[in-house]
Structure 1
Amino acid sequence: MDIIATTRQGRVRGRVRESVAAFLGIPYAAAPFGPHWFRAPAPAEPWEGVRDALEYGPTAPQRPYRPPLDELIPEVTVPGDACLNLNIWTPESTGGALPVMVWIHGGSLRNGSSAMPLYDGRAFARDGVVLVSVNYRLGVEGFGVFPDAPDNRGLLDQIAALAWVRDNIAAFGGDPGRVTLCGESAGAVSISALLAAPRAAGLFHRAILQSGAPHTVARGRGARTVRAMAKALRVPATAEAFAAVDRERLLDAQAEVVGGADPISGGPGFAVVADDDMIPAGPPSPTVDLLLGCNREEYRLWFVPNGTVDRINRLTLRLALLRFRIPAGAARLYRASRPGARPGEILGEMATDLLLRGPLNRLADSRPARTFLYEFAWRSPVRDLGACHALEIGFVFDNLRHGESLSGPGAPQPLADTMHRAWTAFAATGDPGWPGWDARRPVMVFDHPCTGLTLAPRQEELSIWLKHARSARTGPGGGRD
């Protein structure tokens, strides 16, 4: 059955299945090409009549992940220029203003889309939450740093989407005063920037950060990727010059420069740029309740399938510790609590804590608003991935069928029920069902068959990264980066 909703731009036609209405591919801003290429998002043009919102809209230009990640994280490509679009799932009959969750996908700011089947929002709508998923510009088009273009265009897209939600979500049964922003990996990094962005103030009221911590880089560092691409393309490192290049050539050059990088081992990539106008220095908003966490073995997605974990030996580990100025005693502590772990596993565990668990704990420590921490610990049997990066998404969305590339068949439905219920409760009430962060450092550990609260897990290891962060802030090169 079809259903009609009215937005400020015009009417849209969605489709109802099993008491959930889905509206797909609604433009929230103009197509970011032609006169809008490398510019801030412009308003979407209004339309006459009823616009079909029955299929996913175009996705942001990108290249797929390199093998073997392309099999583990299968992507969806929808051609077309109008990639600044969003999708909405809402109960057929709302009976009142419902809480809203806006999903920001991950992908290292260069991959991903809201059209991935894993992000289907039916389970949230079934349980009384309006789910909105958003496409935004990626890679050099969204986060390339140029002297003649605004920075953080992908973030500006997200803010434009949130403004659209504020202005239109009531027509879909949602409450614009109860918006929870939720994202994973680069989506969570984006949200941490939006928490500090004055332009986003008031557009959301709670936030969930899955496997992503606050991170910005200085503008000069952010421009390195554009300069490397300009060299490969043999053009000036300006938005005007890049706009004159065929998009397929741009994507080829981008893949050449950043295709081998990953969040754990590093390499050239894209990042949110520190900007005193858009993202001023200082802590994120103290008034927004947060749900934060990561997966116990994040690193395994990047270290295990491609064999990196086997190539790291004791010498490699020692050199990595020297490079990042990490005390040698750190490795001894991690080895003592993980008998039989290989050097690559020790390095991966430390990298997970350095990049995610440590920063998320420090963020929780810094906030007066209610904050809740979790850890996802269930281990996938697929390719020895364990509790790797992105594995939790299928459980959060109660959508295990479309998460089988990471979890395999037969993932525990009771764990999905528990985790999805916590996310739904947080969006509705601000309370996921366990104590908020305090001096006891409570963390809800999601596992199967046992999910339960743990106080200050692995605190001795985490204390290393607290000291490391203090040293980085006060030593040479300390500051926003």
Structure 2
Amino acid sequence: MVVVSSLFLALCSLSLLAAHPLVVRDAVSVSTPLGTAQGVVGVDGATRFAVRYANSTRWAPSAIVTEWALPNDADDPAALPLQCPQLNADASTYSEDCLSMILYVPDNISVGSDAPTLVWIHGGSFDSGSATFPGLDGSNLGIATDSIVVVIQYRLGALGFLPPDGSTNLGVQDTINALTFLSQVVPSFGGDASRITLAGQSAGAGMIRALLAGPSASSLFKSAIMQSDPTDYGFTSLATQALFQSTFNDLVSCSPSDIACHTALTIDTILDAQSNVENNALSLDPSAALGEPLHPVLDGTLITSPLDSTAPFPTIDKPLLLTNVRNESVPTIYGVALPGPDAFPPVVFELSSDAFLGVDRTAVLLASPFYETDPDGDSRVQLERLGTDYIWRCPTWTFGRNWVAAGGGSVHVGMYTIGATYPGNEEIPECLFDGAVCHQDDIMILFGTTSTPTPAQSALTIEIQARYKAFLATNDPNVDGLDNWEPAMSSDVHAMQFGAPGEVPVLACDPAFWGAAVQYDYQFFGL
């Protein structure tokens, strides 16, 4: 659905390199199997270690490093890694040498602690983002959860998902290599390699879904936390991937096997061709997920299950936390698709739905009680509700039900009703309305990096971090003194509201509506 999805790309393509200010108290060294790790200790009570975890030449599979090395050949342990090449970013902030991670180790964790590790995978539509984006300093989160927090990077866009030779999922393989590297070194910092939990937001959650669907990654983590996964987007089919690939190759004028031609391409040429493919994805293939047209591919080797309602779920015994925010689609609708101070008439809802969902599915929407005309006559209200349900909330709930029904471990589902405005969202007035929680507004709540938080934000940060601490330790997010968070069932997900009492109303997320009467994209297109 273009109207609902297109801003998701723009929103998650914000190229805001975080400063990650660190007041250094001292430098520190740790002996690892790969050599001496150099880090810097902050006054907040955690030590930060930045490291290159893998090497790769352009469009070749990455290889795990055999020696500990600072990112980008730096000689200062306080230096942060450059981000991977991406659109809308200054060239001085990125490098193809970007396969790095940052470890945040609380002062009370040392060798023998056997502490859990939380690995954060950043969002950004698989074509933007980094370990140094705003709010991702893991110090406070690590201290609050008694865990090592690790934030990783992986190759993005065409460099990670459109290699001209037709191979697939380089970015996914990078992530697997990051986890493999981590399992080798984390005991040296006091972590238990068997107690790694993956967590990620938006495309980062989508990457976790890809790892859950890849048997080769299964042994590398024990549980997962998926925040704001656009679950409506199934994995890319091989046919769609081949079409995007041939289009990209034509744009850069390189044959699949011409390595010399691939090597000679400038980053600008690659990013320009990538942008062309992304901007024209829907016209190339109606099944394209406009919010993230370049994403993991169901290749049958690395990723072997669609993990959606088009096929039976495999039984993967891992507990999951699945969360959304109240207004996932506000930035999509009000920020890019239909911006401006003036209301859009109700007919825009029907026309948009007709164009991108088809007449039959639109008729079901119009006849339902879930998307009634806004009293003020602004169709954006309906479209925002539709986008939040269709792209994020309802398919995530369906995923949770399917996971439980397949016997894949416990699932807890939740929704943020309080957030902290993420950089970029403050430019959208509707994200500043009382009670609005926009896509990405959960990140700084979780990490405890909200600037001058309100009492409500501080209270929610304490609650979320306490629940995550319990989940990392016991696979159960329930904590004495907090409301009981019921696990999801195959018929009722019991979605808890974070910041408000009670459960989230089911409304359109009834299994008999989305995925049946209307169908998600992955079903409709048979991905």
* Correspondence 1:218 to 2:237: yes
* Correspondence 1:384 to 2:430: yes
Match in the other structure for 1:42: 63
Identity of aligned residues (%): 24
**TM-score, with length taken from structure 1:** 0.85
The one of 267, 277, 296 equivalent to 1:272 is 296
Match in the other structure for 1:141: 159
**Correspondence 1:242-261 to 2 at 5 A:** 242-258=262-278
Give the C-alpha shift of residue 29 in structure 1. Answer: 0.6
Give the C-alpha shift of residue 166 in structure 1. Answer: 1.1
Give the C-alpha shift of residue 273 in structure 1. Answer: 0.7
Give the C-alpha shift of residue 309 in structure 1. Answer: 5.3
| Cα 1:267/1:118, change in 2 over 3 Å | closer
SS of residue matched to 2:219? coil
Match in the other structure for 1:84: 99
Match in the other structure for 1:176: 193
The one of 338, 344, 349 equivalent to 1:317 is 349
Q: Indicate conservation of the 8 Å contact 1:25/1:58, yes or no.
A: no
For 2:258 and 2:488, the matched residues in 1 are separated by 44
* Correspondence 1:197 to 2:247: no
Match in the other structure for 2:321: 291
Match in the other structure for 1:424: 469
Measured against aligned partners, the alpha-carbon deviations of 1:256-297 in whole angstroms (never above 9, x if no partner) come to: 443698999827731111111111125365201000021121
For 1:224 and 1:289, the matched residues in 2 are separated by 36
For 2:180 and 2:129, the matched residues in 1 are separated by 22
Moved more, 16-25 or 371-380: 16-25
Match in the other structure for 1:444: 496
Match in the other structure for 2:378: 342
The one of 4, 7, 29 equivalent to 1:4 is 29
| Cα 1:116/1:472, change in 2 over 3 Å | closer
Q: Indicate conservation of the 8 Å contact 2:59/2:163, yes or no.
A: no
The one of 48, 60, 63 equivalent to 2:84 is 60
| Cα 1:239/1:456, change in 2 over 3 Å | farther
For 2:105 and 2:396, the matched residues in 1 are separated by 31
**Aligned partner letter, 2:188:** A
Q: Indicate conservation of the 8 Å contact 2:116/2:196, yes or no.
A: yes
Match in the other structure for 1:16: 41
| Cα 1:57/1:176, change in 2 over 3 Å | same
Q: Indicate conservation of the 8 Å contact 1:193/1:284, yes or no.
A: no
For 1:376 and 1:318, the matched residues in 2 are separated by 29
Match in the other structure for 1:72: none
Give the C-alpha shift of residue 416 in structure 1. Answer: 2.1
**Aligned partner letter, 1:442:** H
Q: Indicate conservation of the 8 Å contact 1:441/1:455, yes or no.
A: no
| Cα 1:216/1:474, change in 2 over 3 Å | closer
Q: Indicate conservation of the 8 Å contact 1:193/1:272, yes or no.
A: yes
Moved more, 264-273 or 51-60: 264-273
The one of 445, 464, 467 equivalent to 2:516 is 467
| Cα 1:410/1:140, change in 2 over 3 Å | farther
For 1:17 and 1:104, the matched residues in 2 are separated by 23
Measured against aligned partners, the alpha-carbon deviations of 1:143-186 in whole angstroms (never above 9, x if no partner) come to: 1154x253100000000001111111011111111111001111
Q: Indicate conservation of the 8 Å contact 2:40/2:78, yes or no.
A: yes
Give the C-alpha shift of residue 225 in structure 1. Answer: 3.5
SS of residue matched to 2:104? strand
Give the C-alpha shift of residue 47 in structure 1. Answer: 5.8
For 2:522 and 2:290, the matched residues in 1 are separated by 20
Measured against aligned partners, the alpha-carbon deviations of 1:194-235 in whole angstroms (never above 9, x if no partner) come to: 001011011000101111145201122124444443344344
| Cα 1:56/1:410, change in 2 over 3 Å | farther
The one of 459, 481, 503 equivalent to 1:454 is 503
| Cα 1:427/1:472, change in 2 over 3 Å | same
Q: Indicate conservation of the 8 Å contact 1:225/1:269, yes or no.
A: no
Give the C-alpha shift of residue 78 in structure 1. Answer: 3.5
For 1:135 and 1:125, the matched residues in 2 are separated by 19
For 1:353 and 1:48, the matched residues in 2 are separated by 44
**Aligned partner letter, 1:216:** F
| Cα 1:324/1:25, change in 2 over 3 Å | same
* Correspondence 1:230 to 2:249: yes
CA RMSD of aligned residues (A): 3.2
| Cα 1:59/1:188, change in 2 over 3 Å | same
For 1:307 and 1:150, the matched residues in 2 are separated by 34
* Correspondence 1:111 to 2:128: yes
Moved more, 80-89 or 191-200: 80-89
| Cα 1:455/1:306, change in 2 over 3 Å | closer
Q: Indicate conservation of the 8 Å contact 2:82/2:98, yes or no.
A: yes
The one of 329, 345, 366 equivalent to 1:331 is 366
Give the C-alpha shift of residue 247 in structure 1. Answer: 1.5
For 2:410 and 2:373, the matched residues in 1 are separated by 32
For 2:235 and 2:48, the matched residues in 1 are separated by 34
**Correspondence 1:401-420 to 2 at 5 A:** 401=451, 412-420=457-465
Match in the other structure for 2:334: 304
SS of residue matched to 1:435? coil
SS of residue matched to 2:495? strand
For 2:258 and 2:198, the matched residues in 1 are separated by 30
SS of residue matched to 2:37? strand
For 2:75 and 2:321, the matched residues in 1 are separated by 36
Moved more, 334-343 or 53-62: 334-343
For 2:155 and 2:265, the matched residues in 1 are separated by 17
SS of residue matched to 2:158? helix
Q: Indicate conservation of the 8 Å contact 1:76/1:115, yes or no.
A: no
For 1:225 and 1:393, the matched residues in 2 are separated by 32
Q: Indicate conservation of the 8 Å contact 2:334/2:380, yes or no.
A: no
Measured against aligned partners, the alpha-carbon deviations of 1:2-21 in whole angstroms (never above 9, x if no partner) come to: 22112332111111123634
Measured against aligned partners, the alpha-carbon deviations of 1:18-53 in whole angstroms (never above 9, x if no partner) come to: 3634333301111x2xxx211111121426999753
Gaps of 5+ in 2: 1-25, 306-311, 479-484
**TM-score, with length taken from structure 2:** 0.78
**Aligned partner letter, 2:437:** A
Q: Which has the higher contact order (CA 8 A, sep 6+)?
A: 2
The one of 430, 435, 440 equivalent to 2:486 is 435
Gaps of 5+ in 1: 66-74
